[in-house]
Amino acid sequence: MDTVRVGLIGSGFVTSIHFEALRQVAGAQVIAVASPTPGHAERFATERRIPHHFTDYRAILDLKDVDLVVLGLPNDLHCEATCLAAEARKHVIVEKPMAPSLAECDRMIAACAQAGTLLGYAEELCFTPKYVRLKQLIDEGALGKIHLVKQSEKHDGPHSAWFYDTRRSGGGVTFDMGCHAIEFFRWLLGDPSSGAKAGITSVYAQMGTYVHGAKTDGDDEAILLLTFAGGAVGLAEESWTKPGGMDDRAEVFGSEGQAYADVLHGNALRAFSRRGYGYAVEKAGSTAGWSFPIYEEIWNYGFPQEMEHFVDCVRRGTAPREDGHDGRAVVQAIHALYASAAQGRRIELPFPSEAARPIDHWKPKGSQ
């Protein structure tokens, strides 16, 4: 097919990023958006000149012209939406994390396999230009044998209230942002010749709720330690407690060298304003005082590159580099990490889990 016609399910912050990313993909056309919140989909569609808008996303699945749907929904809705989309023979891109439980991940993978539809796992860090260059250095042997990889992502908390409700989100910052680091490590340390991701052999975690305890029983800060086949270690720092805007960095240490990557600060201005101004960077609560206004933020994070890859896979009928099996591997690791934090010990993988949510291992009696 020449053009992949896309339906957006959701109308919040991440869906606005999805739209802007797809707008930069020559082979994609967004033709519909859906949101259950009255007026949201209509406003989203009007502002962006999208032809169709609905309050029930199943109406998008009924549109014959839609080839691909992109899910920007709360985590607890990913499984149902994916399975219904597969039943309607629509390709699916699911925003991270894939789903709260391993059983849901399995249903999503099976539904798309049975329908013969693509299931793409939207992990943009595997498409982020600086991180892509970092992996090239590793694959070329420039840093020698890698023994330690660090990745940190920090801001002052999510945009939407459902993230804090662990009954819907499934967990706190470890699930929300630790999922980025885990797949980043798997990809970065993977085999460049086969494309196989690096296997996780064990995990250890410390986490707590330090700032947002009034509105969530989820963790808002975590340190995650993952050991990979071959001996490399991944260290992730995740936080919802850092004010002043998003921070995203990685470090790699090998026998022949080391490398550092800062996704945002190296692509920003440094500014001081007494009165403040419009937009600086994601999660910047205020622009008064010192700030770092970013440019080409979506491109720097790799969202257009990610969507271009998935759209190309739909057009060519090829398998995506990030798929449902990758999403499931991340969810399994996160279940193990919450169990580790609860038990205060290292957890070996594979880690079979029947828990409905990762946080159930940490706080078994449930959430608020």
Q: What is the CATH number of the domain that holds 311?
A: 3.40.50.720
Mean pLDDT of 98-108: 98
What is residue 365's predicted lDDT score, i.e. its pLDDT?
52
Burial class of residue 233 (count of CB atoms within 10 Å of its CB; 0-12, 13-18, 19+): middle
Pick from 4-13, 137-146, 279-288: least confident: 279-288
Q: Residue 306 above 90 pLDDT?
A: yes
Instruction: For residues 91 and 201, state if they share a domain.
Output: no
Mean pLDDT of 36-47: 97
Other beta carbons within 10 Å of 136: 11
Instruction: For residues 109 and 83, state if they share a domain.
Output: yes
Integer Cα distance of 8 and 71 in angstroms: 6
Q: Residue 261 above 60 pLDDT?
A: yes
Q: Residue 262 above 80 pLDDT?
A: yes
What is residue 368's predicted lDDT score, i.e. its pLDDT?
46
For 216, the token pair is 């969530």
Q: pLDDT grade, residue 266 (50/70/90)? A: confident
Q: Which domain holds residue 44?
A: 4-125+303-322
Q: Residue 367 above 60 pLDDT?
A: no
Q: Which of 110, 91, 113 is nearest to 312 (CA)?
A: 91
Q: Where do we find the tokens 């693509």?
A: 118
Domain assignment present for residue 368? The answer is: no
Mean pLDDT of 141-164: 96
Instruction: For residues 246 and 131, state if they share a domain.
Output: yes
Domain assignment present for residue 366? The answer is: no
Q: pLDDT grade, residue 167 (50/70/90)? A: very high
Instruction: For residues 226 and 348, state if they share a domain.
Output: yes
CATH of the domain at 234: 3.30.360.10
- As a whole-number percent, the residues of the chain with pLDDT over 90 amount to 91
User: pLDDT tens for residues 179-227?
Assistant: 999 999 999 999 999 999 999 999 999 999 999 999 999 999 999 999 9
Question: Where do runs of H (alpha helix) occur along 32-128?
Answer: 40-48, 58-61, 78-87, 102-115
Integer Cα distance of 88 and 115 in angstroms: 8
Instruction: For residues 39 and 176, state if they share a domain.
Output: no
The whole model's pTM is what? 0.95
Q: Residue 176 above 70 pLDDT?
A: yes
Q: Residue 95 above 50 pLDDT?
A: yes
Instruction: For residues 286 and 184, state if they share a domain.
Output: yes
Pick from 10-14, 25-29, 295-299, 352-356: least confident: 295-299
Q: Residue 79 above 60 pLDDT?
A: yes
Integer Cα distance of 249 and 154 in angstroms: 9
Mean pLDDT of 136-153: 97
Instruction: For residues 71 and 145, state if they share a domain.
Output: no
In the sheet with 91-95, reading across from the earlier edge strand, the strands are 52-54, 28-34, 4-9, 68-71, 91-95, 119-122
